[in-house]
Amino acid sequence: MLEVEGLSAAYGRVQVLWDLSLKVEEGEFVALVGANGAGKTTLLRTISGVMRPSTGTITFLGKRIEAAHANDIVNMGLSHIPESRKLFTEMSIKENLEMGAYPRRSWKERRETMKWVFGLFPRLEERSKQLARTLSGGEQQMLAMGRGLMSKPKMVLIDEPSNGLAPKVVSEVFEILKSLHKEGITILLVEQNVRQTLNIADRAYVLENGRLVLQGVCSFLRESDHVRKAYLGV
Ligand SMILES: Nc1ncnc2c1ncn2[C@@H]1O[C@H](COP(=O)(O)OP(=O)(O)O)[C@@H](O)[C@H]1O
Ligand SMILES: [Mg+2]
């Protein structure tokens, strides 16, 4: 479904991604894990068309997208749920969700889609008129995910949904990711929370200093000496 080949990216003259290649098949739940500053967010921003790669290709559903406009990429069915949520804080839950339905294809169906999103996140429905800034951290993350789903994506890129949340809320967020996957949505999840991520994803890639250093099915990575020492503290 998504294929990245030989991708490099830089901020000005500072290169931060080096020759990355990765693949996500339709229906897979794939994770990208790595420490703070490894380049995870930069990779997602490059895939979603917010940033241009300096070399390499990105193919989504058989079409090359590395030069495509971010809006067109959303229209093709690839939605990016950004780091730190980026909500419209002075708008209500309902208005934030509507903003996520802007691709023409999904605007017409926004009422139906919102029902589906409220089914996944009942707490958002109870508070649909409340301003986004008044929500708890966990609720804000749910709203960010709900908004990202309003375009009816085939695949989502999710950047650190557990960041800054209390452990109990983190578990809730991971449960929601599992249910999205059950809904048939293909997922590329970026996380620093390596232990829980390796428990829910099918496969994972490990990114260090802008380079992919390890990849494999999660059960294999959990046993790897490098992953255990560097990320699991065992
Ligand atoms: N807007 C930016 N301008 C310059 N450097 C940046 C910018 N954003 C990130 N970087 C640098 O790129 C590297 C990778 O950052 P990032 O992709 O945010 O990593 P991660 O998401 O894994 O924490 C870091 O060294 C970071 O300082
Ligand atoms: Mg990041």
Confidence of residue 44 (pLDDT cuts 50, 70, 90): very high
Contact of 93 with 124, CB cutoff 8 Å = yes
Q: Is 24 exposed, middle or buried (0-12, 13-18, 19+ CB in 10 A)?
A: buried
C-beta 169 within 6 A of ligand 1: no
How far does CA 173 lie from the centroid of its chain? 12
Atom of ligand 1 nearest to the CA of 43: 17
Ligand 1 atom 27, closest CA = 37
How far does CA 215 lie from the centroid of its chain? 18
Atom of ligand 1 nearest to the CA of 34: 22
Mean pLDDT of the residues in the chain:
94
Model pLDDT for residues 152-199, shown as the tens digit of each residue: 999 999 999 999 898 999 998 999 999 999 999 999 999 999 999 999
Measured in Å, residue 78 CA sits from the centre of ligand 1 at 22
225, two tokens: 């000496």
Model pLDDT for residues 65-91, shown as the tens digit of each residue: 999 999 999 999 999 999 877 899 999
The reported pLDDT for the residue numbered 39 is 97
Contact of 125 with 143, CB cutoff 8 Å = no
Query: Quick check: pTM over 0.95?
Result: no
Contact of 85 with 93, CB cutoff 8 Å = no
Confidence of residue 12 (pLDDT cuts 50, 70, 90): very high
Atom of ligand 1 nearest to the CA of 207: 22
Contact of 186 with 155, CB cutoff 8 Å = yes
Measured in Å, residue 42 CA sits from the centre of ligand 1 at 6
Contact of 142 with 123, CB cutoff 8 Å = yes
133, two tokens: 């800034």
Q: Select from 14, 15, 16 the residue to mutate for testing ligand 1; criterion: most ligand atoms less than 8 Å from CB.
A: 16
Q: Select from 15, 33, 41, 188 the residue to mutate for testing ligand 1; criterion: most ligand atoms less than 8 Å from CB.
A: 41
**What domains are defined for the chain?**
1-77+154-234 (3.40.50.300), 84-151 (no CATH)
Ligand 1 atom 26, closest CA = 37
Measured in Å, residue 97 CA sits from the centre of ligand 2 at 23
- Using CA atoms, how far residue 184 sits from 12, 101, 153, in Å, is 38, 19, 10
Model pLDDT for residues 85-122, shown as the tens digit of each residue: 789 999 999 999 999 998 777 888 899 999 999 999 99
Ligand 1 atom 18, closest CA = 41
Ligand 1 atom 16, closest CA = 39
